[in-house]
Chains A and B, each alone.
Chain A
């Protein structure tokens, strides 16, 4: 197994490569290994924006052996929540890191001056980043580096835009232009360490221990993947295909969740985008599905007839929710412009949308005034939002400085807590399906819909007690620790079933039973939970925004007692688990 850990120290611009078979044998890779590395290298009380914060990138044992093992886990202390930060991205990160020979990369310290890092097999280059610093458009940063550095086709290029430099707590790290370590503020951590970009290029090889069996298993996974429903579903419309069904199920958060039905859902649906705007589809490295959908947006110049620019904008369900329905934006062009703006600055789209939705409602209710927001914010008004996104980056006044710290923080300062839609400090994802979704946001260790997929539980099972809901969600989250340690794309979870995973390890010379896998998933969950508690996570203090109880969902109006009971049960469960 690939067990090299590259440790980079920005304080003195040194690096070393350690061989850690112990780590990868016990903890698989990805999330499992990242938790341990973070624990080894970081004080849980570290200041997220101080040099003592540590960034870990970890890949898994199936990269690049098998298709769909296409993701990298980033782990760090989140400047948004002050707690554990974990974010996954695709693109070419995983295969490049693996081909360069590393299982994981640890970045410590902070550079005095802006740098960008170039990592290759056995070598790290610390490059002068001063000229790139201050370029607020991450797309341009990418183009400049692409021209400067070798490794076309075999490299990953992570970078931050202006939002990361300005320490917006929900700035993302963009990779290969259209994929993101989106959530929980890794971009601000890059900014605080003065890392503008991180390039990894790799050309390497590994040998299977059983060549014949390796090709057979590969073919089995490949065939299963291209025949799978996921392949059809995500290749055709992408995740955007969820817009219409969720809207019909009364589950699409709209106008700061003052409704869960959006009358213009049709217009910003996956179907409409595909019909009118879809320009190209692309894939993460080693993924046959190609779920990344790029819309071509043609914008005329106002004062120059017959002069257009055409920009490509990558869209996904989450972005359509956060910058579309949540802001009441029902025009595709408006939505795509907003996505593009957020992409340029390198902001997390979900957090940005939720922050702006809250600000819009707060302004309407008189909690905020135009002195705060500078521009008029009203649902559906794209121009106002475009300007406000500029301000989140520029932070021209105290209000935007606060808004750049997240909706939880802003509502602490100004009020409007009841309709500040965040869980554990992380802005809410786009699913108002029922109790399970929200319990999942509250209990999930990333406060993400991907932790435990409560939205899917709400759709599949109707009769659940609060305790059953928590048990099912935690069990799902435990299993997902295996997937995110491997690290396979969650869209391929139907392909990577437990028996296949166990068999896929064999030709790589690793023996793991199905029971081992399940048990390891639970252990990783526990380790992550422990780390989160050490960082100050208090499940008993979890704030549940009152708004979610006011609005009809797929499961009708939600019951506050139900969720309170679930949380009490979860608190007890946590105590038992550690």
Chain B
């Protein structure tokens, strides 16, 4: 299956285009802003020291799904999670559970998590991200 991966983190300029792209990823209801973004480029205390781009790494035993009390997060075959928004009660246990801090709080109290759709890769101007086939 295909996954969002980091190709070369040293080239990240912190532009956040990936973050804004993630908000637009659904053709039927693209959003402007960052509320639903599931990817976050951050600096190492200033971009001069480099960057980290935070997003779900698609664990095979996702702790976020384990702590979800309503079944809104379910382990996906091949790694990562499926998010069933309807079931989410906004408890944020998953936010606590993810070691990478890769679950983000939305403006409406629910969450955003990467679904590995690959949309953001098309908007990283500097080749930091890639969307590639991985063995699971």
Contact = CB atoms under 8 A, between A and B. Distances in A.
Interface stretch (A275-283, A549-557, A570-578): A275-283
B45 A143 contact: yes
B8 to A, nearest CB: 13
A142 interface: yes
Contacts of B29: 207, 211
A21 interface: no
A215 B123 CA distance: 12
A66 to B, nearest CB: 9
B17 interface: yes
B125 A286 contact: no
B50 to A, nearest CB: 8
Interface string A143-164: 1001100001110000000000
A208 B48 contact: no
B15 A208 contact: no
A206 interface: yes
A283 B20 CA distance: 14
A64 interface: yes
Contacts of A284: 15
Contact of B13 (A92, A226, A290): A290
A64 B24 contact: no
A200 B33 CA distance: 15
A67 interface: yes
A218 B20 CA distance: 11
A281 B126 CA distance: 11
B82 interface: no
B78 interface: no
A203 B20 CA distance: 11
A36 B46 CA distance: 35
Interface in B34-62: 34-36, 40-43, 45-48, 50, 54
A161 B33 CA distance: 31
Interface in A266-321: 279-288, 290, 292, 294, 312
A212 interface: yes
A121 B36 CA distance: 15
Nearest to A294: B48
Given A121-B107, A286-B15, A312-B48, A99 B34 contact: yes
A147 B40 CA distance: 18
A146 B33 contact: no
User: What range describes how many residues of A lie at the interface?
Assistant: 35 or more
Interface residues of B, number: 35
Contact of B32 (A64, A121, A312): A64
Contacts of B48: 177-178, 279-280, 282, 294, 312
Interface string B80-95: 0000000000000000
A59 interface: no
Contacts, number: 111
Contacts of B32: 64-65, 205-208, 214
A287 B34 contact: no
B130 interface: no
A505 interface: no
A206 B24 contact: no
B90 to A, nearest CB: 14
B30 interface: yes
Contacts of A226: 125
A64 B46 contact: no
A215 B31 contact: no
A226 B27 CA distance: 22
Interface in A109-168: 121, 142-143, 146-147, 152-154
Contact of B42 (A153, A208, A211): A153
Contacts of A142: 46
B71 interface: no
A177 B44 CA distance: 13
Nearest to A212: B27
A185 B123 CA distance: 37
Nearest to A290: B13
B14 to A, nearest CB: 5
A206 B32 CA distance: 5
A333 B97 CA distance: 48
B15 A153 contact: no
Contacts of A208: 30, 32
A95 interface: yes
Interface centre among B14, B31, B41, B43, by most A CB within 10 Å?
A: B14
B118 interface: no
Contacts of A212: 27
A147 B44 CA distance: 11
Contact of B28 (A65, A67, A92, A211): A211
Contacts of B54: 153
A288 B15 contact: yes
Nearest to B123: A222
Nearest to A508: B32
B47 A280 contact: yes
A211 B32 CA distance: 10
A-B complex: 8 closest residue pairs judged by Cβ atoms: A205-B35, A312-B48, A283-B15, A288-B125, A153-B42, A290-B13, A205-B33, A283-B13
Interface of A: 64-65, 67, 92, 95, 98-99, 121, 142-143, 146-147, 152-154, 176-178, 202-208, 211-212, 214-215, 218, 222, 226, 279-288, 290, 292, 294, 312
Given A205-B32, A207-B31, A282-B13, 8 more contacts: A64-B33, A64-B34, A176-B47, A177-B48, A203-B106, A208-B30, A214-B32, A280-B50
20 contacts: A92-B16, A98-B33, A142-B46, A143-B45, A153-B16, A153-B54, A203-B34, A205-B33, A208-B30, A211-B29, A214-B32, A282-B48, A284-B15, A286-B16, A286-B17, A286-B20, A287-B15, A290-B13, A294-B48, A312-B48
Interface of B: 13-17, 19-20, 23-24, 27-36, 40-43, 45-48, 50, 54, 105-107, 123, 125-126
